[in-house]
Structure 1
């Protein structure tokens, strides 16, 4: 084990920072995990005293990550409280925006994992080409209550989705639909080709890596992201063979990427006040007084559930031995669990006598 007693690795600290402290026993296994969540508390309090319209104006400015999903959850919660029924057109537009956001956040985090493993310049051009295309179409007006039944509200250009599929094909080394059609032996064969995503999965399927993060005692209560949403046979096979490991979680993300560019409607919210973000389900609840002013605003975010004391991140790390004794695998596992989190990892190792 090459870790020093106070080794530290930082991933873009911010006001929403999470600190993950690991202790290792003399055999190199994680013996204790302490998660300090320094994300802002009671963000909903910022909306108290505002009108719903004012709150909706602030949402995109406050939430730069999962911004579309946050807006969808917010407008849904307000519509529910006001007993307003959104049109099918509005629901479609919301679903398409969330689909684009899934694609952006999943693909961006996969690229960060690749750069961690293969170097800063790895797959730069196809990754940036995809990101630019997605950002261009995500540059949309903020959602408002007036849009709920606006007849002029237009869905995204139908030619966008084939264009996204073409960009993804450069990263998969095949069309997304072909990837979804792979059998388990076909997936293993695919992982040996030279496309960026294949190289990433091959690295994660290495013997000392493939079950990292899997824990028989792992509770899936907090799981609302791709691992829960995707029911593809490949993912079910991976869960049986590898558990909820870093390899399985990354496969779930790859399957979701391939699926949502073909069927963007799978990202649509099914309940008012709830939205599906790339990392999992977001829930917003509000209360209004008789004048229509917000008196209470509650937000339930996946990251806070995943990183709570005794939560999924802690459970996934306890008892694990780091592949090659390298702390980068902790970063990669956390990214595989939550693509929208900023965090640092701190380690303490008990040296052998």
Structure 2
């Protein structure tokens, strides 16, 4: 198994298994002063680079005894990063996953050129919603379901094609300061995260669970998962912003920075000389890769589905790390 590549294996005997031998790049920080870490973070983490840098700064400043809130500018940049990442996922990755063909070059060029929120809102209106994001938001659940029934875009067509029934797993509650205070430093040393002993689904679906409750109760988790990403995108383009929390944790401090895929957690503790003694990062994808987490549960509920459906489901869950699928042939030829 390649380091930092998620391996999804399927065999007729065992079903699906997920493995991720994560490279804990943050261990390079041990023994360094915080000022030495800040320039390293964007070099080590290209995806969600601003979120990673912000979480590191907030955690280290709090660990040093000087907690500071994120600035309005920080949160605006964080949200811009999430919008851009979500648009890339919708316009480029899902086009390949659902239609089997790469996105048109013109669409790729539009995404590259959209660098501001107004430009991204115009792109989303044209390519995603078929109307202004604020107008789409105002439709409500019944309106969104009507939108699915009379597709205005490729995204709506994809949503309408998804199979309805599936199993899932517990949705992670919003990790506010009160919830974060329940965590201990040793929680971060576990191979994979759990909340109260259970693997969880994180990200847009957990944040939009109340709005999409009828779909969740009806077993339409795949539709709810994709629709949640669209809801988050529309909300951000309409003025909502991602949230950030910092709190003490054990002998150090913990920062939670929300991203498009879910909460990014950084834990830091300093020694007596002010250098880093302990550092852990828990990305959203760590939750996805739990042996009983959302990837395994979702795919095992579709063991009889075609391979293309499996790949679509993984694309919906959206791990932030490259993945490869190793699939045992379903039917083997036995010469007579």
TM-score range, shorter chain: 0.7 to 0.9
Corresponding residue for residue 320 of structure 1: 302
> TM-score, normalised to structure 2's length?
0.80
Select the residue among 192, 195, 202 that pairs with 1:224: 202
SS at match of 1:316: helix
1:320–1:184 Cα change, 3 Å: same
The normalised TM-score by structure 1 is 0.76
Q: Any conservation in 2 of the 1:16–1:39 contact (CA below 8 Å)?
A: yes
Distance 1:84 1:128, change over 3 A: farther
Report how far residue 334 of structure 1 moved.
1.4
More contact order relative to length (CA 8 Å, sep ≥ 6): 1
Matches of 2:275 and 2:303, distance apart in 1:
52
Asked if the contact 2:80/2:117 (under 8 Å) is kept, the reply is: no
Give the aligned partner of residue 167 of structure 1: 123
1:30-179 paired onto structure 2 within 5 Å: 32-40=15-23, 42-86=24-68, 90-110=70-90, 111-122=92-103, 124-134=105-115, 160-171=116-127, 172-179=129-136
Task: Output the aligned Cα RMSD.
Answer: 2.5
TM superposition shift of 1:255 = 0.6
- Unmatched segments (≥5 aa) in structure 1: 1-12, 26-30, 135-159
Kindly tell me: are residues 131 and 315 of structure 1, through their superposed partners in 2, closer, same or farther at Cα, counting changes over 3 Å? same
Instruction: Tell me how far 1:162 sits from its aligned partner.
Output: 3.0
Once the two structures are TM-superposed, the CA of residue 290 in structure 1 deviates from its matched residue by: 2.1
Distance 1:55 1:322, change over 3 A: farther
Whole-Å separation in 1 of the counterparts to 2:207 and 2:40 = 29
- Return the match for 1:215 from 144, 167, 171: 167
In the TM superposition, 1:222-261 aligns within 5 A as 222-231=200-209, 233=211, 235-244=212-221, 246-261=222-237
Residues 242-298 of structure 1 show CA distances to partners (whole Å, capped at 9, x for unaligned) of 342x22211110111101111242x13133511112111111111112221111111
- State the aligned residue count: 296
SS in 2 for 1:254: helix
Q: Which runs of 5+ in 2 are unaligned?
A: 172-198, 248-254
Quote the residue 1:203 is aligned against. Answer: 161
Q: Are the counterparts in 2 of residues 161 and 262 from structure 1 also a CA contact under 8 Å?
A: no
Deviations 1:192-220 (A, max 9, x none): 2342322322333xxxx233xx216x333
